């Protein structure tokens, strides 16, 4: 049973790596957004949070989605869903059991913003640029992953003409993506 469990875990990690690499391969040749359309980020964020509900419950997280209506950006809905999922999944993975994760959507006359904050270990300022590179993992061995999630996020942000910021949230991390209005 233990060997079977290890084999299944290895297969899941390999499948995840292949999926992430295929996504990056599709994003790389793009020089801009093909056929951008208005995308409401609120239902995307709600769907992603619902998909990750089992992980949230398993870690007994204090989880909150603060979504202001009307946060609409021009882009590709599927790519934006991947962006939100990668950010929320990372926050859940790196937040300790019983910690806090907040996903916020807001907008004003200048920008629409997605912010994901957590009470995990954070990322030291000197490492923030490095974690956006492919295959760079800050916390080796702590969590499963291949070091592609934030590289994918950075590429999607770039293609959408948005801005990505990694900052501090108390003891944790705050990741903010801003799309100009």
Write the DSSP symbol of residue 96.
P
Residue 37 CA to residue 17 CA, distance in Å, equals 29
Taking each helix axis from N to C end, the angle separating 77-94 and 149-159, rounded to the nearest 10 degrees, works out to 150
> Which residue has better confidence, 161 or 29?
161
| 40: phi then psi, degrees, rounded to nearest 5 | -85, 115
Tell me the mean pLDDT in the region 150-156.
87
Position 133 scores a pLDDT of 72
End-to-end CA distance of the chain: 54
Tens of pLDDT, residue by residue over 31-54, are 566 678 999 999 999 999 999 999
User: What is the average per-residue pLDDT within 19-40?
Assistant: 68
pLDDT band per the 50, 70, 90 thresholds, residue 141: very low
Could you tell me what percent of the chain has a pLDDT over 70? 76
Q: Which helix (H) or strand (E) holds 112?
A: strand 111-118
| Average pLDDT of the chain to the nearest whole number | 83
116 neighbors 101 (Cβ within 8 angstroms) = yes
pLDDT at position 139, please?
A: 60
**Is 90 within 8 Å of 122 (Cβ atoms)?**
no
């Amino acid at each position: 049973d233990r060997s079977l469990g290890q084999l299944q875990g290895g297969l899941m990690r390999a499948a995840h790596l292949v999926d992430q690499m295929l996504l990056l391969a599709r994003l790389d040749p793009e020089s801009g957004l093909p056929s951008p359309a208005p995308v409401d980020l609120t239902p995307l964020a709600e769907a992603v949070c619902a998909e990750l509900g089992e992980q949230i419950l398993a870690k007994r997280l204090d989880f909150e989605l603060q979504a202001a209506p009307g946060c609409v950006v021009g882009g590709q809905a599927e790519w934006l869903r991947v962006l939100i999922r990668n950010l929320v999944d990372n926050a859940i993975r790196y937040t300790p059991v019983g910690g806090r994760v907040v996903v916020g959507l807001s907008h004003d006359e200048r920008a629409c913003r997605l912010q994901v904050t957590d009470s995990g270990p954070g990322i030291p300022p000197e490492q923030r640029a490095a974690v956006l590179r492919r295959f760079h993992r800050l916390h080796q061995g702590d969590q499963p992953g291949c070091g592609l999630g934030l590289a994918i996020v950075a590429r999607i942000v770039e293609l959408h003409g948005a801005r990505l910021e990694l900052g501090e949230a108390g003891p944790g991390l705050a990741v903010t993506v801003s799309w100009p209005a």
